[in-house]
Amino acid sequence: AQTVTQSQPEMSVQEAETVTLSCTYDTSENNYYLFWYKQPPSRQMILVIRQEAYKQQNATENRFSVNFQKAAKSFSLKISDSQLGDTAMYFCAFFSSGSARQLTFGSGTQLTVLP
């Protein structure tokens, strides 16, 4: 079974600064996908960024980028130029279409952007 670990329950960052959220996972699969989802107070989960395990290049989406270290099973999210609207719970998630076809989530990191 896959497990996803987020070791930072809470983090804060000053507006306009950069912050990195950590995520590690454990799997015996070789082909899989990793995600970061954002959950603002409205409760709706929003996809932030996705990484395919077979791609060596780290995914980027505007101010969001990942550092994917496959051998280390690490998948961190970097948020640059943090904005107040980035305040949310961030979840790391794992998906493998070769096994159980469901997302496995970490426990989340509550990020607060301070003005």
Given the rule CB under 8 A, which residues bind another protein? 4, 33, 35, 37, 42-47, 50, 52, 91, 93, 95-97, 100-108
Rank residues 82 and 91 by Cβ distance to another protein and give the closer one.
91
Rank residues 22 and 80 by Cβ distance to another protein and give the closer one.
22
Nearest CA among 102, 88, 104, 78 for reference residue 10: 88
Rank residues 30 and 97 by Cβ distance to another protein and give the closer one.
97
Which one-letter DSSP state was computed for residue 70?
T
Which one-letter DSSP state was computed for residue 102?
S
Q: How far is the CB of 53 from another protein (least distance, A)?
A: 11
Q: How far is the CB of 67 from another protein (least distance, A)?
A: 20
Q: How far is the CB of 110 from another protein (least distance, A)?
A: 9
Going along 9-115, which residue ranges are E strands? 10-14, 19-21, 24-26, 33-39, 46-52, 60-61, 64-69, 74-79, 88-95, 104-105, 109-114
Rank residues 36 and 82 by Cβ distance to another protein and give the closer one.
36
What are the residues facing 77 on neighbouring strands?
Answer: 21, 66
